[in-house]
Amino acid sequence: MDFRLTDEQQMIQDAAREFAQNEIAPVAAQFDASGEFPSRTIRMAGELGFMGIETPAEYGGAGLDSICSALVIYEISAADAAHGTIVSVNNSLYGISLLEFGNDMQKRDYLRPIAEGRLVGAYALTEPQSGSDAGSMRSRAVLSSDGTHYVINARKSWITSGPVARYLVLFAQTEDQAGNSLGISAFIVDAEMPGFHRGKVEPKLGIRASATCEIELTDYVCAVENRLGDEGQGFRIAMSVLDSGRIGIAAQALGIAQAAYDATLSYSRERQAFGTPIGSFQTIQGKIADMKTRIEASRLLVLKAAWDKMQCAGTGKRNTLNSSIAKLYASETAMFVTHQALQIHGGMGYSKELPLERYFRDAKITEIYEGTSEIQRIVIGRRETGLK
């Protein structure tokens, strides 16, 4: 069993780290304070191939593997989790949706500009009354009498990159089966078409530079050729794509945890108390040991999930179990590590003069979006027992 990265994977990780530390880390606090979308650095990420990591070169991407994707998201998130969110959604939720279920025309027209970083993509599944229960969505897409287009009326909430996205993968009921996941279909929608409206931008606790808003579609006309996959296939598409998205969020959580740990390790060596570095105290050493152990376990789970995704490619199998395990453990590790880091830093950790409080705020969302920790436990439990 070889745990070493390939030369290509190591090279991509090094490039992502250099970009993140040189271009993102210096402006992270500024964008966290303002809540402004970091357009310049996101365009730079696109130029480096980081907005379409797994997308083949023929569609504007870097043509790399799932492990490279996880490594890039990890390194970017260690500099700023908000940037990590944008990159993750672009690559996993939007990009994988089109890669796995789109046709050549859809990939050429709607994936290429996103993978190249010229435009931003988004994923519209959640509704105000249906978060974890996606099957109960109320959005409707009605096929026209001549069969050429759908008329969509929808209201979606908590849409990452919603305020800036040009194209979105959106899910709606296409059959009169409200509450039945079998009636859901997926569509590619253009935010510049009539009937598309952006709602209020959410004032979030963390990942503040990752713009999030509600969107509403009112009598939006969507050509049949912009349906993604077959009619009624939407719920399967959504759940399959979330498997990839959860690896991205696990990598993001790992990056947050690593940044908090690195800051804490350095602080424990420098901070003096009672005439000695606090890192020499057994209590502090115990916390550091627990932090390090959880981080390394999370790292292996994230890489295993990414590897498993690669093994499932083209087989029709899903990597649900390992992606859920990685997402559950890494997100709870991010919260554990940032909590311990804040405690070790004491009052300075609570101050905005250091990035620790930002890491703490950013970590929390990883336990919530793309499937809460509670949902991950249900998914894992059902997979293991075979019972519902």
CATH number, domain containing residue 240: 1.20.140.10
Cβ atoms 157, 126 nearer than 8 A: yes
> What domain range is 291 assigned to?
235-385
Establish whether 370 is a catalytic residue: yes
Same domain, 104 and 32: yes
- The per-residue pLDDT string of the chain (388 residues; one tens digit each, 9 = 90 and over) reads 889 999 999 999 999 999 999 999 999 999 999 999 999 999 999 999 999 999 999 999 999 999 999 999 999 999 999 999 999 999 999 999 999 999 999 999 999 999 999 999 999 999 998 877 877 899 999 999 999 999 999 999 999 999 999 999 999 999 765 556 779 999 999 999 999 999 999 999 999 999 999 999 999 999 999 999 999 999 999 999 999 999 999 999 999 999 999 999 999 999 999 999 999 999 999 999 999 999 999 999 999 999 999 999 889 899 999 999 999 999 999 999 999 999 999 999 999 999 999 999 999 999 999 999 999 999 999 999 999 8
pLDDT the model gives residue 129: 86
Same domain, 256 and 225: no
Same domain, 143 and 48: no
CATH number, domain containing residue 217: 2.40.110.10
- In this prediction the pTM is 0.96
pLDDT the model gives residue 63: 97
Last residue in a domain, options 178, 205, 232: 232
Cβ atoms 335, 364 nearer than 8 A: yes
Q: Is residue 183 part of a domain?
A: yes
pLDDT the model gives residue 314: 87
Quote the number of domains for the chain: 3
Same domain, 242 and 203: no
3-state helix, strand, coil in the chain (%, to 5): 55, 15, 30
Q: Is residue 2 part of a domain?
A: no
Same domain, 369 and 241: yes
Q: Is residue 1 part of a domain?
A: no
What separation in angstroms does the CA of 175 have from each of 139, 140, 351? 11, 8, 52
Same domain, 102 and 193: no
Q: Is residue 287 part of a domain?
A: yes
Same domain, 240 and 147: no
- Tell me how far apart the 2 most distant CA atoms of the chain are, in Å: 82
Q: Is residue 73 part of a domain?
A: yes
Measured distance CA(279)–CA(236) in Å, rounded: 50
Same domain, 287 and 360: yes
Tell me which of 127, 332, 367, 370 is the catalytic residue. 370
Same domain, 220 and 314: no
DSSP string covering 206-266: S-TTS-EEEEEEEEEEEEGGGEESSTT-HHHHHHHHHHHHHHHHHHHHHHHHHHHHHHHHH
CATH number, domain containing residue 41: 1.10.540.10
Give the whole-number percent of the chain exceeding pLDDT 70: 99
Same domain, 45 and 141: no
Same domain, 261 and 131: no
Last residue in a domain, options 120, 144, 175: 120
Same domain, 78 and 146: no
